[in-house]
């Protein structure tokens, strides 16, 4: 998900730009700054000669980043950084909307309205459920 977010963000730029990308994903930051050049050089294989995981996404990110001057920064997730907290909120909302869409596609329009609270309860971590939603 982090790689795709970076791709979409860079794709949204309409002209070559200087960009600062902040991420709480070490996988993304280290992947693009440390590992990607070597993967490209090795024909998208790791140093162990195994195929790079998510190579299609890394290639796409490599392609869209080349049109810009991009600096990558890591920040600790869930540490009160306002923009990171907002990104997390939007990602969670997007995941919920995608899940509702999948339910509606599977069971018919409006099914997510009927089953949504049951689905969210089923995916909550134990101890985080709203007791008012529990059956006696």
Q: How confident is the model at residue 32 (pLDDT cuts 50, 70, 90)?
A: very high
DSSP E strands: which ranges in 24-85? 69-74
Considering the chain, what percentage of its residues have pLDDT values greater than 90?
45
Strands (E), the chain: 18-23, 69-74
Task: Report the domain count for the chain.
Answer: 1
Assigned domain for 53 exists: yes
Q: Is residue 58 one of the residues assigned to a domain?
A: yes
Residue 81, classified by CB atoms within 10 Å of its CB into exposed (0-12), middle (13-18) or buried (19+), is middle
Residue 110 lies in a domain: no
What mean pLDDT comes out for the span 112-126? 54
Question: Residue 84 domain-assigned?
Answer: no
pTM of the model: 0.65
- Over residues 86-95, mean pLDDT: 76
Token pair of 25 as six digits: 């994903």
Asked if residue 32 is part of any domain, the answer here is yes
Residue 88: inside a domain, yes or no?
A: no
Structural domain of residue 68, as residue ranges? 2-74
- Evaluate whether residue 51 is within a structural domain: yes
* Residue 91's pLDDT band (cuts 50, 70, 90): confident
CATH number at residue 39: 3.30.420.10
């Amino acid at each position: 998900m982090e790689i795709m977010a970076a791709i979409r963000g860079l794709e949204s730029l309409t002209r070559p730009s200087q960009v600062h990308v902040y991420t709480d994903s070490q996988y993304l930051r280290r992947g693009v700054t440390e590992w990607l050049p070597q993967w490209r050089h090795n024909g998208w294989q790791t140093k162990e000669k195994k195929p790079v995981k998510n190579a299609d996404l890394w290639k796409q990110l490599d392609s869209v980043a080349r049109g810009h001057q991009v600096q990558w920064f890591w920040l600790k997730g869930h540490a009160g950084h306002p923009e990171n907290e907002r990104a997390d909120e939007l990602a969670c909302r997007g995941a919920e909307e995608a899940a509702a869409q999948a339910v509606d596609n599977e069971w018919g329009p409006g099914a997510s309205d009927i089953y949504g609270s049951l689905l969210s309860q089923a995916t909550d971590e134990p101890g985080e459920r709203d007791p008012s939603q529990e059956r006696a």
